[in-house]
Chain A
Protein backbone atom coordinates (compact mmCIF):
# COMPACT_ATOMS: atom_id res chain seq x y z
CA UNK A 1 0.00 0.00 0.00
CA UNK A 2 1.22 3.48 -0.81
CA UNK A 3 2.28 5.71 2.04
CA UNK A 4 -0.41 8.31 1.43
CA UNK A 5 -3.06 5.62 1.15
CA UNK A 6 -2.02 4.19 4.48
CA UNK A 7 -2.05 7.61 6.10
CA UNK A 8 -5.54 8.31 4.79
CA UNK A 9 -6.78 4.93 6.01
CA UNK A 10 -5.29 5.54 9.45
CA UNK A 11 -6.97 8.93 9.63
CA UNK A 12 -10.26 7.35 8.61
CA UNK A 13 -9.93 4.61 11.23
CA UNK A 14 -9.09 7.20 13.90
CA UNK A 15 -12.16 9.21 12.98
CA UNK A 16 -14.37 6.11 13.14
CA UNK A 17 -12.91 5.10 16.51
CA UNK A 18 -13.38 8.60 17.88
CA UNK A 19 -16.98 8.74 16.69
CA UNK A 20 -17.75 5.39 18.30
CA UNK A 21 -16.03 6.52 21.49
CA UNK A 22 -17.98 9.78 21.71
CA UNK A 23 -21.34 8.15 20.94
CA UNK A 24 -20.71 5.38 23.47
CA UNK A 25 -19.99 8.02 26.08
CA UNK A 26 -23.51 9.39 25.61
CA UNK A 27 -25.08 6.05 26.50
CA UNK A 28 -25.82 5.93 30.24
CA UNK A 29 -23.92 3.27 32.15
CA UNK A 30 -25.91 0.01 32.10
CA UNK A 31 -24.72 -1.00 35.56
CA UNK A 32 -23.68 1.27 38.43
CA UNK A 33 -20.14 -0.03 38.53
CA UNK A 34 -17.34 2.44 37.84
CA UNK A 35 -15.17 1.38 34.93
CA UNK A 36 -17.68 -0.90 33.22
CA UNK A 37 -18.23 0.05 29.60
CA UNK A 38 -18.71 -1.66 26.27
CA UNK A 39 -15.48 -0.39 24.78
CA UNK A 40 -16.77 -0.50 21.21
CA UNK A 41 -13.86 1.62 19.97
CA UNK A 42 -11.71 -1.41 20.70
CA UNK A 43 -13.14 -2.95 17.51
CA UNK A 44 -11.21 -0.37 15.50
CA UNK A 45 -7.97 -0.99 17.41
CA UNK A 46 -8.26 -4.70 16.62
CA UNK A 47 -9.10 -4.09 12.98
CA UNK A 48 -6.24 -1.63 12.56
CA UNK A 49 -3.80 -4.08 14.06
CA UNK A 50 -5.01 -6.79 11.72
CA UNK A 51 -5.01 -4.84 8.47
CA UNK A 52 -2.18 -2.33 9.01
CA UNK A 53 -0.02 -3.53 11.89
CA UNK A 54 0.85 -2.98 15.52
CA UNK A 55 2.58 0.38 15.16
CA UNK A 56 -0.32 1.79 13.21
CA UNK A 57 -2.86 0.44 15.70
CA UNK A 58 -0.91 2.06 18.52
CA UNK A 59 -0.95 5.40 16.72
CA UNK A 60 -4.69 5.22 16.05
CA UNK A 61 -5.34 4.25 19.68
CA UNK A 62 -3.17 7.03 21.07
CA UNK A 63 -4.81 9.75 18.98
CA UNK A 64 -8.25 8.37 19.80
CA UNK A 65 -7.60 8.41 23.56
CA UNK A 66 -6.15 11.94 23.52
CA UNK A 67 -8.86 13.39 21.30
CA UNK A 68 -11.53 11.37 23.09
CA UNK A 69 -10.62 13.17 26.32
CA UNK A 70 -10.99 16.49 24.51
CA UNK A 71 -14.38 15.67 23.03
CA UNK A 72 -16.03 13.50 25.64
CA UNK A 73 -14.03 13.01 28.79
CA UNK A 74 -12.35 15.14 31.38
CA UNK A 75 -8.64 15.57 32.08
CA UNK A 76 -8.86 13.36 35.14
CA UNK A 77 -10.48 10.48 33.26
CA UNK A 78 -7.79 10.69 30.57
CA UNK A 79 -5.32 9.10 32.97
CA UNK A 80 -7.59 6.11 33.58
CA UNK A 81 -8.43 5.50 29.94
CA UNK A 82 -4.77 5.91 28.95
CA UNK A 83 -3.62 3.40 31.57
CA UNK A 84 -6.29 0.92 30.51
CA UNK A 85 -5.71 1.49 26.81
CA UNK A 86 -1.96 1.06 27.08
CA UNK A 87 -2.13 -2.21 29.01
CA UNK A 88 -4.83 -3.57 26.69
CA UNK A 89 -2.73 -2.62 23.69
CA UNK A 90 0.37 -4.38 25.06
CA UNK A 91 -1.59 -7.59 25.67
CA UNK A 92 -3.13 -7.33 22.20
CA UNK A 93 0.33 -6.94 20.61
CA UNK A 94 1.64 -9.99 22.46
CA UNK A 95 -1.29 -12.22 21.60
CA UNK A 96 -2.51 -11.21 18.17
CA UNK A 97 0.11 -13.30 16.37
CA UNK A 98 -0.63 -16.41 18.40
CA UNK A 99 -4.29 -16.63 17.49
CA UNK A 100 -6.01 -16.90 14.13
CA UNK A 101 -8.39 -14.48 12.46
CA UNK A 102 -11.32 -16.47 13.81
CA UNK A 103 -9.97 -16.26 17.35
CA UNK A 104 -9.92 -12.50 17.75
CA UNK A 105 -12.54 -12.84 20.47
CA UNK A 106 -9.98 -14.58 22.68
CA UNK A 107 -7.39 -11.84 22.13
CA UNK A 108 -10.05 -9.23 22.74
CA UNK A 109 -11.32 -10.81 25.95
CA UNK A 110 -7.81 -11.02 27.39
CA UNK A 111 -7.03 -7.45 26.42
CA UNK A 112 -10.39 -6.46 27.92
CA UNK A 113 -9.24 -7.86 31.26
CA UNK A 114 -5.94 -6.00 30.83
CA UNK A 115 -7.79 -2.76 30.07
CA UNK A 116 -9.85 -2.93 33.23
CA UNK A 117 -6.84 -4.00 35.29
CA UNK A 118 -4.85 -1.01 34.07
CA UNK A 119 -7.74 1.31 34.76
CA UNK A 120 -8.26 -0.06 38.25
CA UNK A 121 -4.55 0.15 39.03
CA UNK A 122 -4.41 3.78 37.91
CA UNK A 123 -7.51 4.52 39.97
CA UNK A 124 -6.08 2.93 43.12
CA UNK A 125 -2.80 4.81 42.67
CA UNK A 126 -4.65 8.10 42.30
CA UNK A 127 -7.17 7.80 45.12
CA UNK A 128 -4.71 5.84 47.33
CA UNK A 129 -7.54 3.71 48.65
CA UNK A 130 -6.84 -0.04 48.37
CA UNK A 131 -10.52 -0.71 49.11
CA UNK A 132 -11.18 0.14 45.47
CA UNK A 133 -9.66 -3.25 44.59
CA UNK A 134 -13.00 -4.69 45.71
CA UNK A 135 -14.09 -3.97 42.14
CA UNK A 136 -11.43 -6.25 40.62
CA UNK A 137 -13.60 -9.37 40.24
CA UNK A 138 -16.50 -7.64 38.53
CA UNK A 139 -14.17 -5.60 36.32
CA UNK A 140 -12.45 -8.81 35.22
CA UNK A 141 -15.84 -10.34 34.41
CA UNK A 142 -16.99 -7.28 32.51
CA UNK A 143 -13.68 -7.08 30.63
CA UNK A 144 -14.21 -10.63 29.40
CA UNK A 145 -17.86 -10.15 28.43
CA UNK A 146 -17.35 -6.88 26.57
CA UNK A 147 -14.05 -8.14 25.13
CA UNK A 148 -15.66 -11.24 23.65
CA UNK A 149 -18.42 -9.08 22.20
CA UNK A 150 -16.12 -6.51 20.58
CA UNK A 151 -13.78 -9.30 19.49
CA UNK A 152 -16.54 -11.06 17.57
CA UNK A 153 -17.63 -7.74 16.09
CA UNK A 154 -14.06 -7.13 14.88
CA UNK A 155 -13.86 -10.66 13.48
CA UNK A 156 -16.99 -10.27 11.37
CA UNK A 157 -15.92 -6.81 10.27
CA UNK A 158 -12.53 -8.16 9.24
CA UNK A 159 -14.15 -10.93 7.24
CA UNK A 160 -16.33 -8.40 5.44
CA UNK A 161 -13.40 -6.04 4.87
CA UNK A 162 -11.31 -8.79 3.31
CA UNK A 163 -13.86 -9.08 0.50
CA UNK A 164 -13.31 -5.42 -0.34
CA UNK A 165 -10.12 -3.98 -1.79
CA UNK A 166 -9.68 -1.08 0.63
CA UNK A 167 -6.07 -1.92 1.40
Chain B
Protein backbone atom coordinates (compact mmCIF):
# COMPACT_ATOMS: atom_id res chain seq x y z
CA UNK B 1 0.00 0.00 0.00
CA UNK B 2 1.19 3.48 -0.83
CA UNK B 3 2.58 5.55 1.98
CA UNK B 4 0.05 8.29 1.36
CA UNK B 5 -2.88 5.88 1.62
CA UNK B 6 -1.50 4.54 4.89
CA UNK B 7 -1.40 8.06 6.29
CA UNK B 8 -5.05 8.70 5.42
CA UNK B 9 -6.16 5.31 6.69
CA UNK B 10 -4.47 5.95 10.03
CA UNK B 11 -5.85 9.47 10.25
CA UNK B 12 -9.38 8.24 9.57
CA UNK B 13 -9.04 5.42 12.10
CA UNK B 14 -7.90 7.84 14.78
CA UNK B 15 -10.70 10.31 13.96
CA UNK B 16 -13.37 7.60 14.03
CA UNK B 17 -12.12 6.15 17.31
CA UNK B 18 -11.79 9.62 18.84
CA UNK B 19 -15.22 10.66 17.66
CA UNK B 20 -16.94 7.58 19.03
CA UNK B 21 -15.07 7.83 22.32
CA UNK B 22 -15.90 11.51 22.72
CA UNK B 23 -19.57 10.96 21.91
CA UNK B 24 -20.15 7.99 24.18
CA UNK B 25 -18.30 9.55 27.10
CA UNK B 26 -20.83 12.38 27.07
CA UNK B 27 -24.47 12.28 28.04
CA UNK B 28 -24.13 11.43 31.68
CA UNK B 29 -23.95 14.96 32.96
CA UNK B 30 -25.60 16.41 36.00
CA UNK B 31 -28.69 18.54 35.73
CA UNK B 32 -32.39 17.83 35.98
CA UNK B 33 -34.04 20.72 34.14
CA UNK B 34 -35.35 19.60 30.78
CA UNK B 35 -36.08 22.15 28.07
CA UNK B 36 -38.35 21.30 25.17
CA UNK B 37 -38.09 23.61 22.19
CA UNK B 38 -39.29 23.70 18.61
CA UNK B 39 -37.57 25.80 15.98
CA UNK B 40 -35.49 27.47 18.67
CA UNK B 41 -38.50 28.54 20.69
CA UNK B 42 -38.73 27.24 24.23
CA UNK B 43 -42.09 25.55 24.81
CA UNK B 44 -41.63 23.77 28.13
CA UNK B 45 -39.18 23.89 31.00
CA UNK B 46 -39.56 21.05 33.46
CA UNK B 47 -37.57 20.14 36.55
CA UNK B 48 -37.52 16.37 36.21
CA UNK B 49 -36.48 15.82 39.82
CA UNK B 50 -39.74 17.38 40.95
CA UNK B 51 -42.03 15.29 38.76
CA UNK B 52 -44.14 13.09 41.05
CA UNK B 53 -46.43 11.37 38.58
CA UNK B 54 -45.45 10.58 35.03
CA UNK B 55 -47.42 12.35 32.31
CA UNK B 56 -47.46 12.93 28.57
CA UNK B 57 -46.94 16.22 26.79
CA UNK B 58 -48.41 16.74 23.36
CA UNK B 59 -46.18 18.85 21.20
CA UNK B 60 -48.05 19.81 18.06
CA UNK B 61 -46.62 22.43 15.75
CA UNK B 62 -46.78 23.27 12.09
CA UNK B 63 -43.90 20.83 11.57
CA UNK B 64 -45.58 17.80 13.12
CA UNK B 65 -46.63 16.02 16.25
CA UNK B 66 -44.59 14.45 19.05
CA UNK B 67 -45.70 12.87 22.30
CA UNK B 68 -43.18 13.59 25.05
CA UNK B 69 -43.24 11.38 28.11
CA UNK B 70 -42.19 13.10 31.32
CA UNK B 71 -41.35 11.10 34.41
CA UNK B 72 -39.25 11.50 37.54
CA UNK B 73 -35.66 11.94 36.37
CA UNK B 74 -36.24 11.15 32.71
CA UNK B 75 -37.83 12.50 29.56
CA UNK B 76 -38.39 10.77 26.23
CA UNK B 77 -40.29 10.95 22.98
CA UNK B 78 -42.74 8.05 22.83
CA UNK B 79 -44.62 8.90 19.67
CA UNK B 80 -43.94 10.96 16.57
CA UNK B 81 -45.42 11.24 13.13
CA UNK B 82 -42.04 11.88 11.51
CA UNK B 83 -40.81 9.41 8.92
CA UNK B 84 -37.52 8.39 10.54
CA UNK B 85 -38.63 7.82 14.17
CA UNK B 86 -35.10 8.56 15.34
CA UNK B 87 -36.35 10.70 18.21
CA UNK B 88 -38.37 7.75 19.54
CA UNK B 89 -35.45 5.35 19.12
CA UNK B 90 -33.20 7.67 21.12
CA UNK B 91 -35.01 6.56 24.25
CA UNK B 92 -34.90 8.21 27.64
CA UNK B 93 -32.86 11.27 28.38
CA UNK B 94 -31.66 11.26 31.98
CA UNK B 95 -28.72 13.65 32.01
CA UNK B 96 -27.25 16.60 30.20
CA UNK B 97 -24.81 16.27 27.32
CA UNK B 98 -26.63 14.77 24.35
CA UNK B 99 -30.02 16.24 23.44
CA UNK B 100 -32.89 14.38 21.77
CA UNK B 101 -33.51 15.77 18.30
CA UNK B 102 -36.37 15.30 15.88
CA UNK B 103 -34.91 17.01 12.83
CA UNK B 104 -38.01 16.92 10.60
CA UNK B 105 -40.05 18.55 13.36
CA UNK B 106 -37.27 20.87 14.54
CA UNK B 107 -37.83 19.57 18.05
CA UNK B 108 -35.00 19.55 20.57
CA UNK B 109 -35.15 18.24 24.12
CA UNK B 110 -32.13 18.90 26.25
CA UNK B 111 -31.31 18.71 29.89
CA UNK B 112 -29.46 21.73 31.11
CA UNK B 113 -26.21 20.92 32.81
CA UNK B 114 -24.90 22.33 36.02
CA UNK B 115 -26.25 22.97 39.44
CA UNK B 116 -29.99 23.15 39.93
CA UNK B 117 -29.90 25.92 42.50
CA UNK B 118 -27.62 28.10 40.40
Chain A contacts to B: CB under 8 angstroms: 25, 28-29, 32-35, 73-74, 76-77, 80, 103, 106, 109, 123, 126-129, 131-132, 134-135, 137-141, 144-145, 148
Contact = CB atoms under 8 A, between A and B. Distances in A.
B59 interface: no
Contact of A109 (B12, B18, B83, B89): B12
Contact of B86 (A29, A74, A76, A80): A29
A103 B102 CA distance: 36
B32 to A, nearest CB: 15
Interface residues of B, number: 38
B99 to A, nearest CB: 5
A144 B5 contact: no
A141 B86 contact: no
Given A76-B103, A141-B23, 20 more contacts: A33-B90, A73-B83, A74-B83, A77-B104, A109-B8, A123-B103, A126-B39, A126-B106, A127-B39, A129-B99, A131-B99, A131-B108, A132-B101, A132-B108, A134-B27, A138-B20, A139-B19, A141-B20, A144-B16, A144-B19
B15 A141 contact: yes
B90 A144 contact: no
Interface string B1-26: 00011001000100111111011001
B55 interface: no
